[in-house]
Amino acid sequence: MRSQMQALILERHVTGRDLFNFHYEHTHVEFDGATSQRANTQVFLGRWIHNFGLHNRVTVQAGPRLTDGKWSTDFTAIAAHTWKSSTIALSFLRTETTLVGYAGMVETRVLQSKLSFNPIRRLTAYATPAFYKTTNGPLQGTVYRFAAGGRYDVSPLLGADVAYTHERQNGAIDPTRPDGKFSRATMTIGFTTRWNNSERTR
């Protein structure tokens, strides 16, 4: 699969708590394989972000999408609240996208919540349950996903990471396995390094 994308974003702070922007994006996708396909999609989005004080934020984004002559609607809504050492966010997304191993655009809807927690300065933990629904014509697949993990900063340059993900899928957009059921779980443990080389001026 090969893709080319051009985007234009115009942004304006209307008040100290309100941010509006306009987003235009054009994407051309070519799918390789036994049956070569192409897709052109354009989306026009308006986004509003409002901060209710220091602890609450709401984001709403919506607009029309044109894909190979067919119109649809993109929509995103996010509500977030921040405490002293934790954050919770609930989001809903409806859009068209591509999937690995599938030639063509599919409609995707995602309902997700995320809770992050900083019990101590060096430790960050999170939990993210989510529900995905993907459709293509009469075919559809649903995925229930739960992810959790954490990061511990051993030093300013070194961190230890652990992540666990469990997914359960019912149905698929693959016409050869429309009623397929899948389940998988993964766990990863690793270390990451960060290096900042800031330039200083005299």
Q: Tell me which CATH homologous superfamily contains domain 2-193.
A: Porin (2.40.160.10)
CB atoms within 10 A of CB 146: 14
Predicted TM-score (pTM) of this structure: 0.83
In the block, tokens 């229930």 appear at 144
Q: What does the pLDDT read at residue 138?
A: 86
Domain locations in the chain as residue ranges: 2-193
Closest by alpha carbon to 174, among 135, 143, 144, 145?
135
pLDDT, one tens digit per residue, over 131-174 is 999 998 888 999 999 999 999 999 988 999 999 999 999 998 87
Residue among 59, 90, 63, 66 at smallest CA distance from 75: 63
Q: Which segments in the chain show pLDDT lower than 70?
A: 33-36, 100-103, 196-202
- In this structure, the chain runs to a length of 202
